[in-house]
Amino acid sequence: MSELLSFPKGFVWGGATAAFQIEGAWNEDGKSESIWDRFCRTPGKVANGDTGDMACDHYHRFPDDIRMMQELGLQAYRFSIAWPRILPDGRGRVNQAGLDFYSRLVDGLLEAGITPFATLYHWDLPQILQDAGGWPSRATAEAFVEYADVVTRHLGDRVKNWMTHNEPWCIAFLSHQIGEHAPGHQNWNEAIRAAHHVLLSHGWAVPVIRRNSPDAEVGIVLNFTHASAASASQPDQNATRWFDGYFNRWFLDPVYGRRYPADMVEDYTAAGHLPSGMDFVQPGDMEAIAVPTDFLAVNYYTRAILRDEEAADNLPQTIVSSGEETAMGWEIYPDGLYQLLCRLHFAYHIPKIYIAENGCAYSDGPGDDGKVRDERRISYLRRHFAAAQRAIQAGSPVEGYFVWSLMDNFEWAKGYDERFGLVWVDFETQQRIPKESAAWYSGVIGQNGIDA
Ligand code: FCB
């Protein structure tokens, strides 16, 4: 008999999605345009010119999707709310039809015995707020608090788990410095300002959410990429410190009261990214950002191996890679999850952690018999679950795990090319077929553990 690697009693197993990636109904019932609606219509930005207009049509099919989750045995469901459905003008006027949609979704989940975890912002900013300056502008942080207030006043009686933002690194840097995501800008200073206003809006929103949603737990979702040095050389070590600062510490440190990392402020200044210094940080901001929360939600997919290209002592063969990658080209590195969860526990003393996203893209589709055999996904998940279990054994307070994603969906700049789902979706017919990984995951949930 194989041994069972068990998870703690009460461990929460779920699936995750985001509004723009699954809902479709992009202009229905009073919803306004989001920055992703606009970005999809900007030539060259999204693979194949794909859009979120229809996506998984979840807006209309959510009762069936809830039944599907129930059949899979999911205990919890992480979804996001589309700001442009709730406040079509960004602020002010409330669109009741938008609130009603999420209210029906939440009621349906609760009736099915599935605990809702709602993310307030998963990237679909109302375009009207982008036109007024977007996240680089402080006014957007103020607007977010208004939006969070409206949503939690209406759903806070039933939703007891709130996540303010999904992946501030992506909102700030991927979208304003690298330019791969909406609004597609390439400007370091904008990105650093955006990061500050996203974090600030989190800090401001937490007390508002607590007021509106008694007994609720609130947290933020940060994404982490484990940073490994390609060699022990000083330049590689420095590149690794820099990457960890840019990707991980820039967000983690201020949220946990350590302010922005001084080494990064110095590096950004030297690189000319802060021509007027940190003038966007106003008195009280850092205290607001460090507001106590109930949990940290962690998204983890891969690692980066850092090599300083200019270092002479630094040959390409020093790069250690498992050689195994998912369809996204992301290295499979479960040990990075273990190390991250231990670091969050030992170095940051975080009281409670959820893994809000972990998963992989593979294109496997239905075979002749209609079955989707995605053994590689099972293998990926098994190894990452084992890494999380090992971190829990080491003392890391991980209390739940959400697989990204419940179903194949709109994968941002990659359009529909990348399939992360436990459930396969035919985007022509909207047929859903649970993959073999879904059946395997049901088994994991059932026994609250994995076979070693
Ligand atoms: C994360 C996003 C999520 C999904 C996965 C693959 O960065 O939060 O929406 O696209 O990556």
Total domains in the chain come to 1
- Regarding the beta carbon of 222 and ligand 1, being less than 6 Å apart is answered no
Minimum-distance ligand 1 atom for the alpha carbon of 328: 6
Minimum-distance ligand 1 atom for the alpha carbon of 18: 9
Closest CA to 399 of 452, 346, 442, 341: 341
- Regarding the beta carbon of 227 and ligand 1, being less than 6 Å apart is answered no
- Regarding the beta carbon of 224 and ligand 1, being less than 6 Å apart is answered no
| pLDDT score recorded for residue 309 | 76
Mutation choice for ligand 1 from 299, 407, 418, 419, CB with most ligand atoms inside 8 A: 299
Handedness of CA 353, 421, 174, 385 (dihedral sign): positive
- Regarding the beta carbon of 50 and ligand 1, being less than 6 Å apart is answered no
Task: Name the residue with tokens 């040959």.
Answer: 315
DSSP 401-418: EEEE-SB----GGGTTS-
Residue 209 has pLDDT above 90, yes or no: yes
Task: Name the residue with tokens 């929103």.
Answer: 205
Chain centroid, CA 39 distance in Å? 19
Least confident of 57-61, 302-306, 379-383, 442-446: 302-306
Mutation choice for ligand 1 from 21, 173, 357, 377, CB with most ligand atoms inside 8 A: 357
Q: Are strands 423-425 and 432-434 parallel, antiparallel or unpaired?
A: antiparallel
> Which tokens go with 145?
């608090």
> Ligand 1 mean position to 122 CA, how many Å?
9
> Ligand 1 mean position to 224 CA, how many Å?
12
Minimum-distance ligand 1 atom for the alpha carbon of 21: 9
Mutation choice for ligand 1 from 412, 416, 418, CB with most ligand atoms inside 8 A: 412
> Ligand 1 mean position to 201 CA, how many Å?
21
| pLDDT score recorded for residue 317 | 44
- Regarding the beta carbon of 420 and ligand 1, being less than 6 Å apart is answered yes
- Regarding the beta carbon of 412 and ligand 1, being less than 6 Å apart is answered yes
CATH number at residue 59: 3.20.20.80
pTM listed for this prediction: 0.97
Residue 318 has pLDDT above 80, yes or no: no
Q: Which domain holds residue 231?
A: 4-451
Active site residues: 167, 357
| pLDDT score recorded for residue 320 | 57
- Regarding the beta carbon of 253 and ligand 1, being less than 6 Å apart is answered no
- Residue 2's pLDDT band, with cuts at 50, 70 and 90, is confident
Cα 362 to Cα 293, 299, 323, 358, 383, distances in angstroms? 35, 18, 16, 14, 16
For residue range 70-97, list pLDDT tens digits in order: 999 999 999 999 999 999 999 999 999 9
For residue range 259-294, list pLDDT tens digits in order: 999 999 999 999 999 999 999 999 999 999 999 999
> Which tokens go with 155?
């759903």
> Ligand 1 mean position to 39 CA, how many Å?
17
- Tell me how many degrees the CA angle 54-59-64 measures, rounded to the nearest 5: 110
Q: Is 323 exposed, middle or buried (0-12, 13-18, 19+ CB in 10 A)?
A: exposed
Question: Which residue owns the Cα nearest ligand 1 atom 9?
Answer: 18
> Ligand 1 mean position to 100 CA, how many Å?
26
> Ligand 1 mean position to 232 CA, how many Å?
32
> Ligand 1 mean position to 322 CA, how many Å?
23
- Regarding the beta carbon of 413 and ligand 1, being less than 6 Å apart is answered no
| pLDDT score recorded for residue 312 | 53
d(CA 13, CA 113) in angstroms, rounded, equals 13
For residue range 332-380, list pLDDT tens digits in order: 999 999 999 999 999 999 999 999 999 999 999 999 999 999 999 999 9
> Ligand 1 mean position to 220 CA, how many Å?
15
Percent of the chain at pLDDT exceeding 70 = 97
For residue range 92-125, list pLDDT tens digits in order: 999 999 999 999 999 999 999 999 999 999 999 9
Beta-carbon contacts of 31 under 8 Å, excluding residues fewer than 6 positions away, are: 25, 82, 84, 85, 88, 95, 98
| pLDDT score recorded for residue 1 | 56
d(CA 20, CA 23) in angstroms, rounded, equals 6
Chain centroid, CA 87 distance in Å? 22
- Regarding the beta carbon of 360 and ligand 1, being less than 6 Å apart is answered no
